[in-house]
Structure 1
Amino acid sequence: MKKKLSLAVCMLLVFALVLTGCSGAASPAASPDSSSAPAASATASAGDVDWPTKPITLLVGYSAGGSSDLGARFLATALEKQLGQPVIVENKPGSGSWVAWNQLLYNTPKDGYTFALTNLSVLFGAYDEKNPRKETMDDFELMANQAIDYQVIAIRSDETRFTDFASLVEYSKNNDLLVAAASTGITSGEGSVAKMMEKEFGSKITLVPVEGAKDAETMFVSKNTDILFNNVGDTTNSHKKGDYKVIVVFGKERSTMLPDVPTAIETGLCDYVSFSARGYGYAKGVAPSIVEKMTAALAKAIEDPECVKNMNDMGVEIKLYTGDEYKELLRNQLDTRLEIWGIPKK
C-alpha cells in the first residue's frame, strides 16, 4: 500500500514539473535591449520597477558655474529627495551640448542611470547651417521641461530715440540698428528676433557677432550697440536696478520675473513668441517603466519649493511640462522659427 502511495505521489510531482516547464517555454524571450533587471521590463508598472538602486548621472553640456549648470544642480538636489539616490552632475561642454548628447546617445547604457539637460537644440540641430546634425528629437526620450526663458528687447535708461517697442519699430524702419548676438540663424533666439523684425516690419538690423550673452550686454551698456536682444533670465536684475529698461517680452503672457513689461502680443504689433527651454531627457531605449518613474520624480523635483526659489533668484521662470506636452512645446517653437526663416520642415 505504501509503495502504491509513493508511486502516486511521484507521478503527481512529475506532472507538476512538466506543466511548469511548458509554462516557461511559452514565455517570450527577452530582447537584447532589455538586459536590465526583469522589473524594468516594458510591462512593469512604475511602482513595481526596482530602480534606482545606485547613483544617477546628469550630463550637462555647459561649463560649471553658468545658469544652465546651476539650474541642473538645483534640480539634482531636489531629485535626490524623490529617488533616494545621489544625482551626480557631470559637465560635458562643447558643440552646443552635442558633446554631452553624443555621450548620452552612443556611449551610455540605456538602463535609466544617465540622463541629460536638454534644450531646443535637440530639434534645431538638423537645421544648423554650419554643422547640421543627423540626430532628431526622436532619438531622445524627452521627459520634463523645467524652465522657459523668453526673449526680450532692452534699451538704455537714457535712450531718447525710442522709448517702447512701438517707437523702436518705427525708428528701425528708416534707421540702421546694431545688435550684438552670440549666434545667428534659426538656432539663435536673438538672431530669430532680428529676422522676425526684418520680415514683419522691414527693420534694418545688423548683428554683430560676439562670444556670449555677457559680451553682448557689455557692448550694449558701453554704447557700442544700439539695443539689446537677450532673455528674461539675463536681464531681470539689471532691469530692476535701472541699469537699462526691458521694453518687450516675446512670450504668450507676461513674465512673472518682469510683470511690468508688456508682451509683443499686448502691443498689438505682432504675435511672435520666442524662448529658450531647459528640460531633461534620456536616450531612446530606456524601459518605459523607468521613464514613467523618472518623469514623475522630475515633475516633483522641478516644483520643489527650494528648487523653485533658487531658480527664481536667478531670474529663471519655472514652467513644468511633461511627456507629450513637453514635446509639443518644443515642436511649436521649431515651427515658429522655421516660418520666420522660410525653411522647409524636414
Structure 2
Amino acid sequence: MKKIIAISVASLFMVMSAITCGNAAAKDDANYPTNTISLYCGYSAGGGSDLICRILAEKLTAYFGQTVIVENITGAGGWVMWTQMFQNAKPDGYSIYQINTPNFNLGAYDPANPRKYTYKDVDLLCNWVSDYNAIAIRKDEKRYTDWNSLVEYWKNNELISSASAVGILSDDATIVHRLTKYYGTKASMIQTGGAADNQTMLLNGSTDFMVGNVSEMANAHINGEYKIICVFAPERDKNLAEVPTFKELTGENMIGDSCRGFGIPKGADPKVREIILTALRECINDEAMMAKMAEIYTPVNYVENEEYQALMQDRLESALAAYDRSDELKK
C-alpha cells in the first residue's frame, strides 16, 4: 500500500509540475531560455503596438522565468526594425519581433522604397490582434462636428492627416487613400513615429483629423480628449456604441485594420520555436490576459502557423486592390 501511494504521489507531482511550467520538458530539452529575451516593437512608446508588447512581456517573463524586455526601434513604418531582423538577428530565440500588417507585408510594394523582403522571409508564429481603424476630430472643432460635415468640408479643402505608422502603405494611410478615392478628395499625410505622436499632432492643431486604431483611440474618446466619428469595422465597437461604422454612414462596406502578431528569424531550432509558440499561445489566450485586452479595447484574433500565413496573404491582396495594384501581386 505504501508503494502504491508513493507512486501516486510521484505521478501527481509530475503532472502538477508539467501544468505549472507550461512546457517545462521541452524547455529542458532545448536548454531555452537561459538569458534575457528581447521583444522588439517597431513603433514608439505609448502607442497601441508598444502597449500590448509590454503587457505580453510581463506575462512571458513570468512564464519563462527569464526577463523579457521590450525594445522600441522606430522608423520607416516598422521597417528599420524589420530590416535589422533580416540582416542582423540570430535565429536563437532570444529576439522576437512584432509583425504589423499591412505595413510588413506591403513593404515589397512600396513605390518609393521597395523592400527586398516579404512575409515569406520570416518565420511567422502567430497573429494576436486585429485592430480596426477609426477617425477622430478635436472635441472643440468648429469646422465640422461629425462625419457628414467633415466630408463636406473635405470636398472643398485639402486636409492633412498624420499616420500612426510611417509610410504610404500603412493601414492608416491606406484608409485615407481609399477615402480620397471614394469621395474624390485630397489629403496630405504627415509621417510620424507612432500613435502617441499622432494624437499629439491632432490635439496641438497640427493636423485636421486623426486616423488610427480603436485600441489606441478609445480611451481618449471616452475621456473626452477628442471625438471619434467613424470606425471601419464590420459592426460598432461595444466600447464605442455611439460611433457609427462607415457602412452605416454610407451604405458601403469599407474595412480597415492593423493586425499585430509575432515572428522570429528563420532557422531557429525547432524545439526553441515550439517553446516560443507555446508560450505565446498560452499567454495570449490566458483568461486574465483576455480580460486585460478587453480593458484596453483591443480585439484578440489569435491564429498561428498556416492560418497566420493565410491572414497575411489576404491583407496583402486587399491592400493592393485598394491601390489598384493587384496586377503586381507576385510575392
Shorter-chain TM band = 0.7 to 0.9
**How big is the shift at 1:103?**
4.1
**How big is the shift at 1:240?**
0.6
Looking at structure 2, the residues matched to 268 and 143 of structure 1 have their Cα atoms a distance apart, in angstroms, of 37
Q: Secondary structure at the match of 1:122?
A: coil
Looking at structure 1, the residues matched to 191 and 80 of structure 2 have their Cα atoms a distance apart, in angstroms, of 23
Q: Show the 5 A alignment for 1:272-311.
A: 272-311=254-293
Looking at structure 1, the residues matched to 89 and 304 of structure 2 have their Cα atoms a distance apart, in angstroms, of 23
Looking at structure 2, the residues matched to 222 and 105 of structure 1 have their Cα atoms a distance apart, in angstroms, of 37
CA distances 1:120-142 after superposition (whole Å, capped 9, x unpaired):
23312212233321111111111
Q: Show the 5 A alignment for 1:170-189.
A: 170-172=152-154, 174-182=155-163, 186-189=168-171
Q: Show the 5 A alignment for 1:1-346.
A: 50-51=29-30, 52-55=32-35, 57-62=37-42, 65-67=45-47, 68-82=49-63, 84-89=64-69, 91=71, 93-96=73-76, 97-120=78-101, 121-159=103-141, 162-172=144-154, 174-182=155-163, 186-209=168-191, 212-343=194-325, 344-346=328-330
Q: Secondary structure at the match of 1:299?
A: helix
Looking at structure 2, the residues matched to 122 and 244 of structure 1 have their Cα atoms a distance apart, in angstroms, of 29
Q: How many residues in Structure 1 have an aligned counterpart in Structure 2?
A: 300
1:321/1:260 CA distance change after superposition, 3 Å: farther
Looking at structure 1, the residues matched to 33 and 220 of structure 2 have their Cα atoms a distance apart, in angstroms, of 44
Looking at structure 1, the residues matched to 150 and 118 of structure 2 have their Cα atoms a distance apart, in angstroms, of 37
**How big is the shift at 1:305?**
4.0
Pick which of 306-315 and 259-268 moved more: 306-315
CA distances 1:196-235 after superposition (whole Å, capped 9, x unpaired):
1121221343434556544443443344543222221232
1:270/1:77 CA distance change after superposition, 3 Å: same
Contact map agreement 1:104 1:115 (CA 8 A) in 2: no
Contact map agreement 1:125 1:135 (CA 8 A) in 2: yes
Pick which of 108-117 and 129-138 moved more: 108-117
Q: Secondary structure at the match of 2:172?
A: helix
1:216/1:94 CA distance change after superposition, 3 Å: closer
The one-letter code of the counterpart of 2:258 is S
Pick which of 92-101 and 234-243 moved more: 92-101
1:269/1:197 CA distance change after superposition, 3 Å: farther
1:168/1:155 CA distance change after superposition, 3 Å: same
Looking at structure 1, the residues matched to 26 and 41 of structure 2 have their Cα atoms a distance apart, in angstroms, of 32
The one-letter code of the counterpart of 2:276 is M
Contact map agreement 2:46 2:195 (CA 8 A) in 1: no
Looking at structure 2, the residues matched to 46 and 264 of structure 1 have their Cα atoms a distance apart, in angstroms, of 48
**How big is the shift at 1:69?**
3.3
Contact map agreement 2:160 2:209 (CA 8 A) in 1: yes
Larger Rg: 1
Looking at structure 2, the residues matched to 210 and 280 of structure 1 have their Cα atoms a distance apart, in angstroms, of 23
1:166/1:59 CA distance change after superposition, 3 Å: same
Looking at structure 1, the residues matched to 320 and 44 of structure 2 have their Cα atoms a distance apart, in angstroms, of 32
Match of 1:25 in 2: none
Looking at structure 1, the residues matched to 33 and 157 of structure 2 have their Cα atoms a distance apart, in angstroms, of 59
1:225/1:151 CA distance change after superposition, 3 Å: same
Which TM-score applies when normalising by structure 1?
A: 0.73
1:192/1:103 CA distance change after superposition, 3 Å: closer
Looking at structure 1, the residues matched to 127 and 186 of structure 2 have their Cα atoms a distance apart, in angstroms, of 35
**How big is the shift at 1:93?**
1.1
Pick which of 229-238 and 260-269 moved more: 260-269
- Identity over aligned pairs, percent: 33
Looking at structure 1, the residues matched to 213 and 26 of structure 2 have their Cα atoms a distance apart, in angstroms, of 42
CA distances 1:263-307 after superposition (whole Å, capped 9, x unpaired):
223334322222222211112223445434432321111133444
Q: Secondary structure at the match of 1:131?
A: coil
Pick which of 300-309 and 155-164 moved more: 155-164
1:225/1:106 CA distance change after superposition, 3 Å: closer
